[in-house]
Structure 1
Amino acid sequence: MTQMHYDELDLAVIERCDGLRKDAGDTIFVAKELEAVKAKTYDQKFANLNALKLFDMSSDVDPGADTISYQSLGSVGMAKTIANYATDFTRVDVLAEEHIAKVIAGGAAYGYTMQDLRRAAMARKPLPARKAIAVRRALDEYINRIAFHGDAKYGVVGILDNPNIGNYTVPGDGSGSSTKFKDKTAVQILRDMNGIINSVSKQTNDVENPNTLVLPPDQYNYIAYTPYSDVVADSILSVFKRNNPDVTVLKANELAGAGVGGLDMMIAYVKDVDHQTLEVPLPFTQHTIQQKGLEFEVPCEVRTAGVLIYYPLSMNKASGI
């Protein structure tokens, strides 16, 4: 049997309508064009949606799940010197706190009128993909928004509002007792960047050492283009990277105004799937076309639980930079 490249379910819906001439060439043409539009939405890339850049996505959970059970972990205890035939071994254990995360759905749709399909079939011209791309963008933005801010109405906590993440206090010793980078010297800025990294290491007895530091765009650009001093022409960022070769510094517009009182925030954390994941049980999915009156609609759906943090002490945030 010849492999068809268009969606046969969509074709079946179009064939049942009375708005197109009963011509197999017309219906197949429209079905192929619809399939091309769907494919284009999957290929589309959007900038400035940083959740997938900052956190590894996991789709291991079945999309039918309404909740995800997970544990946040921390270790207790330490080894000690023992004598021969000792029986008084100290216990080292893992403290596990059970959490239940809700999986919520985001949906949107795009469509074409009967006349749109007739015009495309008559002229043999592609269906415009702008509507479909806009829907893909909207659902990508939805996942990004849930990752950072959650949805209080449905009980989903965002990474910026997670109460289990620690806070690093930025010293207010800039000009006018300011905590902001722009009001501080290069030495003070480096101290603040190292400070939040070291705060994670300190609170975990050096078990967790952050490999990622994320700044808002203004602060990132400031340290990237500001020389360290009149003597050292390297940027503040270059000096930081030289002293912290294992730390990746990124920027994310979502951190601008995300701190206490609308102040800018930075976060430092251990980035890997064992420490946190962006749970998306159902990635962007387009369902079969549906006829509604004189319009054909394509419903689209995603399901997400936001960012799950398995080791809360491996992350700290700081406001006021």
Structure 2
Amino acid sequence: MSNFKNVGTFDAGVFTPKMSGAPQGGVPTMDAAGIASGGAFLVSELEKRDPLIRKPLTSFTYPRDININIGGGWADYVSAMSVAYGITGGDGASAVASGGANGLPVIQASVDKGTYKAHVFAAALRVSFQDMQRANMIGRSLDQLLTDGMRMAYDKHMDRNVYMGMSEYDTTGLVNNPDVVETSVTGTGAQSSTKWKDKTPQQILNDINAAITAAWEAAEYDESAIPNHILIPYEQYTYILNTMVTDLATETIMDYVMKNNVAAKNGGSLFIGATKWCKGAGTSGSDRMVVYVNHERFLNMDELVPLSRTMSAPNVANVCYDTAYMANLSEVQVLYPQTLRYYDGI
């Protein structure tokens, strides 16, 4: 006599389980005899779940391009002191003392204070109680997922604040400061084009050295004020990185420029980096090259209060948990505007 029990019927290839005390539409039950004789059916998910959660594609480069001071509290402004010196009659013949002189030139100092605006970054997370419980069942942290989104929003805010500022609050950044001298590069390329893709490696080097020298000259050739940081759009960066100096050469335009620029020849070092904010930032929407000294003496911004989880509380009316995040940030502080230069049209 067969050991199989009637566990269901097949009709046109569709299996209909026979329920043992379970309501219709429930989970089919298998008895011990059916399992022992191989009559059990495997029930499985018909999908393979990828455990990786793919986040949005984005980028930010602000930590690379500016010094950030941490701390200071919930201030409304950041101030910086500067001093200018003078001597009666100038620093030439008036400082020469001779016999019978009845007076000495006097050194004078003019102390000034510059102020820079600060603003508060604030945003909130809201996690539904029901969604939180569901997340616990599948082993994922919904709170962590949203926290990562908060951090991304903050970094993108910082990126915009550093490079462009907030026009709504009358602040500017690295690539659009109104106190910086704007110049167009010389049109020496094919058909007098100013664009680097139409120029020779020597002409591109001339543009870079002219920019470095102009900023250095404005700083009275102070060796500490030799520009060491250049920002350009990704298109121009890729071009000089990939293009050889000549068809038979083994070095790229980037290699050639890095070895022969004014900063390197005067004991300094030069960094050339790409950023999306230089694209179209120049006059009439042209591409801009930004040349400056990346050092805390010359350029700063303050993260007065780093991004912090300030408070979290249950919201009974909406059956959720609300969490507030806040930070206090300053605008970019350009302390020596003459050491920056904008060159458009590259």
Q: Scaled by the length of structure 1, what TM-score is found? A: 0.77
2:301 is equivalent to residue 290 of structure 1: no
Is the alpha carbon distance of 1:167 and 1:96 closer, same or farther for their aligned partners in structure 2, counting shifts above 3 Å?
farther
Note the residue ranges of structure 1 that are not aligned, 5 or more in a row: 1-43
Q: Which residue of 1 aligns with 2:139?
A: 125
Hey, what does 1:266 align to over in structure 2?
289
Q: Secondary structure at the match of 1:110?
A: strand
- Long gaps (5+) in structure 2: 1-54
Question: Which amino acid is 2:170 matched to?
Answer: G
What is the match of residue 188 of structure 2? 173
Aligned 8 A contact 2:175 2:290 in 1: no
Counterpart of 1:197 (choices 204, 212, 222) is 212
Question: CA–CA distance in 2 between the matches of 1:50 and 1:308?
Answer: 18
Matches within 5 A, 1:144-293: 144-207=159-222, 208-244=225-261, 245=264, 246-292=269-315, 293=318
- For CA contacts below 8 A with separation 6 or more, give which structure has more relative contact order: 1
- Per-residue deviation at 1:136? 0.9
Please tell me the residue identity of whatever aligns with 2:247.
D
Question: In structure 2, how many angstroms separate the alpha carbons of the residues matched to 1:192 and 1:276?
Answer: 23
RMSD value, Cα: 2.6
Cα distance change, pair 75–256 in 1 and its aligned pair in 2 (3 A)? farther
In the alignment, what sits opposite 1:19?
Answer: none
1:203-241: CA deviations, max 9, x gaps? 222122111112111111111111112354311111111
- Which of 310, 315, 318 is 2:340 aligned to? 315
Deviations 1:169-195 (A, max 9, x none): 311222233211111111111100111
1:71–1:310 CA contact under 8 A, matched in 2: no
Secondary structure of the 1:103 match is strand
Q: Is the 8 A contact 2:175 2:277 kept in 1?
A: no
Identity of aligned residues (%): 24
| TM-score, length of structure 2 as denominator length | 0.72
**What are the equivalent positions in structure 2 for 1:80-95 lying under 5 Å apart?**
80=92, 82-83=96-97, 88-89=104-105, 91=107
Corresponding residue for 2:324? 299
Change (3 A) 1:211 1:177: same
Secondary structure in structure 2 of the residue aligned to 1:105: strand
Q: How far does the alpha carbon of each residue in 1:145-167 deviate from its partner, in whole angstroms, 9 at most, with x for none?
A: 11111122223222222111122
Spell out, residue by residue over 1:56-111, the C-alpha distance to the aligned partner (whole angstroms, 9 max, x if none). Answer: 1112322x211122246666677446346775447475x65533222112222222
User: Which of 48, 57, 60 lines up with 2:68 in the alignment?
Assistant: 57
Distance 1:47 1:164, change over 3 A: same
